[in-house]
Amino acid sequence: MILEKKRKQRWNLEKMIPVLLFLTAALSVLTTIGIIFTLIFETFIFFEKVSIVEFFTSVKWLPFAATPSYGIMSLVVGTLKIAVIASIVAVPIGLATAIFLSEYASEKTRRIIKPILEVLAGIPTIVYGFFALTFVTPVLRDLFPFLEMFNALSPGIVVGIMIMPMIASLSEDALVSVPMSIREGAYALGATKLETTMKVVLPAAVSGIVASIVLALSRAIGETMIVSVAGGSTPNVNMDVTSSIQTMTAYIVQVSSGDAGYGTTIYYSIYAVGMTLFAFTLIMNLLAQFISRRYREEY
């Protein structure tokens, strides 16, 4: 009797597990739908007050002026400055680290370096922001006296340091997944270690490497605290990286901190900016998935 009761309880538990897992998955989907619905609804309210043509074509972002102007391009340019500088820093270092860990490092060395990369990935972004403001910026100003206290170069470099572990880790996974038989075939044909790595292993893992870079850059585009602390709050459309900038995320932080009242045009502008940022990150993630599927090597 007791055995039969336990068997029945186990059977009921087995039936409940799929339901619980489905509810968990459904909750994440519903949360995403709720976020998208909120962004779209509030963005439509903003565009009832501001011309959508002005929003996407004007180069002036002056929401707090007597005659406000809402040209998102200045914020987009600031965001892209950070992403480009971050990619220049993160891609070479991250890819070189991945190649070293995958092809050259001993098991002991790998056990030392991997935890360090994980620590870098786990540091809060606000800490990175103050590191950029209080250490990186003074060092850069010693080298370049014309550099302003708030600029694009310092946060761009630190964002690159922040996303570098992501590129290194994901790229290493892509390189390690290349079968050893391919390397052995290259060695049998007389290729050196470097030639095998650059001409055989890297091309075979290119889909995973490019996907890791795209995903890391999507995080750089969405970075908030580093650019808010060290980048400044001056939206402008130019290629100057030595002066103050403002990114889309930094503007959202500025308004959310209480600079605008609820229901005002400025308040609704953060949803329009957020929707633009969401579109950027969505496109980047779709691009990463496309590249991963299009150029995936199957062994």
Residue that has been written with the tokens 């633009």 in this structure: 276
Cite the DSSP H helix spans in 135-232.
Answer: 137-143, 153-176, 180-188, 193-196, 202-204, 206-221, 225-230
- Structural domain harbouring 31: 2-49
| Per-residue model confidence (pLDDT) at position 39 | 85
| pTM summary value | 0.84
| Per-residue model confidence (pLDDT) at position 145 | 85
| Per-residue model confidence (pLDDT) at position 258 | 66
Q: Does 57 map to a domain?
A: no
Q: Does 55 map to a domain?
A: no
The count of other CB atoms within 10 Å of the CB of residue 287 is: 16
| Per-residue model confidence (pLDDT) at position 86 | 92
C-alpha span between 291 and 282 (Å, rounded): 14
CATH number reported for the structural domain that contains residue 236 in this entry:
1.10.3720.10
Statement to judge: residues 41 and 187 lie in one domain: no
| Per-residue model confidence (pLDDT) at position 117 | 82
| Per-residue model confidence (pLDDT) at position 66 | 75
| Per-residue model confidence (pLDDT) at position 6 | 63
Statement to judge: residues 25 and 110 lie in one domain: no
| Per-residue model confidence (pLDDT) at position 262 | 74
| Per-residue model confidence (pLDDT) at position 119 | 82
Low-confidence ranges of the chain (pLDDT < 50): none
Q: Does 299 map to a domain?
A: no
Statement to judge: residues 90 and 150 lie in one domain: yes
Statement to judge: residues 9 and 144 lie in one domain: no
Statement to judge: residues 11 and 117 lie in one domain: no
Q: Does 269 map to a domain?
A: yes
| Per-residue model confidence (pLDDT) at position 158 | 92
